[in-house]
Structure 1
């Protein structure tokens, strides 16, 4: 069940049986010469699409995130930390005032983690400072850190997975969009690693956009397997989240 493809009476009826909602969140940023700019949004959106088929309500994807260090590559878009804090806060507040209580953010971008967690802290601080119990339960889940995904990625790629423009995320986007498969010779075969700071230093250290990865190892068949692993991870984790009580 997808929020944007539902009517308000359908959402009202959903709230009678569940107060949970999945919110995919990612980024719009370069992913090397063979990775799609939308990779970090496509991956959680694809997994969440499978969750919606299980009767879970899924909100539209927040496709922009914390990507300032990628701005040296054309097509990348970044929000400021304060902007993303405001977006997450307003999305949660909007839905909470209608009766939603369990907010499951399915994330596809490591650069979002600190800011999403800070947004959670801001929301809880509002309630604490007002001396009231919080009306919302918030969880951040990174699809690429699910136990089945981690195990499968290790099996398929070992240390060639790397940190950015990884073969696992590129394979998953190919599962979602098989017509977008791209293969190019990449040199060096494995990208360098290093400290990530601002856009200028990132472009200097990682001139083709990859970081520690070998995306040439990506395969469409891998994407199918990673999707099944990620969907199982997410469904298990979401169901545990719904069962958890606060306090």
Structure 2
């Protein structure tokens, strides 16, 4: 069940069955020579919609732009400041809570969002504590689609040390599963990108000139994406169900 494709009476009826909602969150940033710029937002959205086809859960609109300042030297990348993203998350949570949502599950596709989302949660809980309220009715969780147990098993089987940490064959395969027409075969040298540290956007592009970090996305495939999709849907149903139970 997708929020954008629902009417308000349908959402009101849903809230009599559940107070949970999945909020996909990602980023709009470069993903190497053959990865879609929307990869980090598309991946959690694809999996969340797959989850909604199998269990009774509402999926919110995807937060497509995240904290990605370090990618800004590559055309097409867009970022929010951490303070802006915190404000967006706070407003979104408070809007959902206003009408009865209590279990809000942020489903993430971008490692650069993690610290900022956790900071937003801390701000929300702090407001309640400082107000002297008896206890927050809100339950907030951040989950990363790429860290599920089953996803990890498939990724290690298929890609081993070529997975890397950015523009990975796993995330690119997952987007190709949903959008096979976007699959691109591009030669890259070296096959496995280097790893290392960086400071800001200009330093990132100097150290990683084609955008990859430690990965070989030439190994990506539509079939690998199908397997990763199934694995992540199972991981997410298990984790989300446990979150609701708590």
TM score, norm. by length of structure 1: 0.98
Alpha-carbon shift at residue 159 of structure 1 (Å): 1.0
Q: How is 1:39-118 mapped onto 2 (pairs within 5 angstroms)?
A: 39-53=39-53, 54-118=55-119
Alignment-derived partner of residue 235 in structure 1: 237
Mapped to 2, the partners of 1:6 and 1:112 lie a distance apart of: 28
Alignment-derived partner of residue 176 in structure 2: 174
Alignment size in residue pairs: 244
Range moving further from structure 2, 159-168 or 190-199: 190-199
User: Match of 1:24, SS?
Assistant: strand
Mapped to 1, the partners of 2:110 and 2:87 lie a distance apart of: 18
User: Match of 1:75, SS?
Assistant: coil
Q: How is 1:122-133 mapped onto 2 (pairs within 5 angstroms)?
A: 122-132=123-133, 133=135
Q: Deviations over 1:130-173 (max 9, x none)?
A: 11111210000000000000111011111110010000000000
Alignment-derived partner of residue 186 in structure 2: 184
Mapped to 1, the partners of 2:203 and 2:108 lie a distance apart of: 25
Mapped to 2, the partners of 1:34 and 1:208 lie a distance apart of: 10
Mapped to 1, the partners of 2:15 and 2:119 lie a distance apart of: 27
Where does the alignment leave 5 or more consecutive residues of structure 2 unmatched?
Answer: none
Alignment-derived partner of residue 213 in structure 1: 215
TM score, norm. by length of structure 2: 0.98
User: Match of 1:62, SS?
Assistant: coil
Picking from 127, 137, 150, the partner of 1:148 is 150
Q: Deviations over 1:175-217 (max 9, x none)?
A: 0100000001101111111113210100000000001100001
Where does the alignment leave 5 or more consecutive residues of structure 1 unmatched?
Answer: none
Mapped to 2, the partners of 1:220 and 1:10 lie a distance apart of: 35
User: Match of 1:140, SS?
Assistant: strand
